[in-house]
């Protein structure tokens, strides 16, 4: 009997502006739909200027069967500080919240607790800072918040902005394991593993991948990556 799997993907949308400098949310959604994911964690899902409306329109997303998880952002934003999550409708949402993160740049994370095919799961979406010191502080801040919540398996997904091997990140993440996702940046010829998925020891990775089919090569400067997770026996 096949073990239940949950596919989580992460994708930096670059505000739906492609490498051809055209804002094409329909093209971004085409890539998202092709991932076969149950949950998609997004970065740069909102436009830059206040009140930071969604770069990926709500009606377009919902038309294709996605549920936009609520994180309390005002002004039509898709998420919080550009971070958002899209869930298939068969995922039951227990609770959502946003987390402010330390650093020189305004940064935040989004957190959702879900009932899934592999059991209860807490997922945190992040877009960590450009300065390494602050990236580590932000990771530790996320882990402190998660530690104060009800115990359940944890997944962190997003743009970690980390070019080096994840040893320091792993230490800051208090023992989370990093899925062996492929390089995803820059999209035309990826060499950097900036987009990552990390998980607590109760989970294991059954498969990973990066989506390279057209139009992903031009839709953003990042490619989306995904991981199929199961509950470790």
Bigger pLDDT: 49 vs 127? 127
- Distance from first CA to last CA of the chain, Å, rounded? 14
Collapsing DSSP states into helix, strand and coil, what is residue 175? coil
Q: How confident is the model at residue 36 (pLDDT cuts 50, 70, 90)?
A: very high
Burial class (CB in 10 A: 0-12, 13-18, 19+), 147: exposed
The band of 169, judged by pLDDT with boundaries at 50, 70 and 90, is: confident
Length of the chain: 233
Rounded Cα gap, residues 109 and 122, in angstroms = 13
pLDDT band at 142 (very low <50, low <70, confident <90, very high): very high
| pLDDT single digits (tens) 37-91 | 999 999 999 886 565 688 999 999 999 999 999 987 766 788 888 999 999 988 9
Q: What is the pLDDT of residue 42?
A: 98
pTM: predicted TM-score of the whole model, two decimal places? 0.95
Residue 73 CA to its chain's centroid (Å): 17
Options 3.60.10.10, 2.60.40.420, 3.50.50.60, 3.90.1150.10; which CATH number does 6-231 get?
A: 3.60.10.10
- 220/106: higher pLDDT: 220
Is residue 128's pLDDT more than 80? yes
Answer for the pair 191, 166: CB distance below 8 angstroms, yes or no. Answer: no
pLDDT at 22: 95
């Amino acid at each position: 009997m096949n073990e239940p799997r949950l596919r989580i993907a992460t994708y930096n949308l670059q505000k739906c502006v492609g490498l051809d400098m055209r804002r094409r949310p329909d093209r971004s959604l085409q890539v998202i739909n092709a991932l076969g994911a149950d949950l998609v964690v997004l970065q740069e899902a909102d436009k830059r200027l206040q009140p930071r409306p969604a770069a990926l329109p709500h009606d377009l997303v919902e038309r294709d069967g996605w549920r936009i998880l609520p994180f309390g952002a005002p002004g039509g934003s898709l998420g919080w500080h550009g971070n958002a999550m899209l869930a298939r409708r068969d995922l039951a949402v227990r609770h959502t919240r946003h987390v402010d993160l330390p650093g020189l740049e305004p940064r935040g994370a989004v957190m959702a607790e879900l009932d899934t095919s592999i059991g209860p799961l807490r997922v945190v979406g992040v877009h960590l800072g450009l300065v390494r010191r602050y990236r580590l502080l932000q990771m530790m801040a996320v882990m402190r918040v998660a530690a104060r919540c009800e115990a359940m398996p944890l997944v962190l997904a997003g743009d970690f902005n980390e070019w080096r091997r994840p040893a320091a990140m792993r230490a800051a993440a208090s023992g989370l394991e990093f899925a062996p996702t492929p390089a995803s940046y820059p999209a035309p010829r990826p060499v950097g593993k900036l987009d990552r998925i990390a998980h607590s020891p109760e989970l294991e990775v059954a498969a990973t991948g990066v989506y390279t089919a057209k139009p992903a090569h031009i839709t953003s400067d990042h490619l989306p990556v995904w991981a199929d997770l199961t509950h470790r026996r």
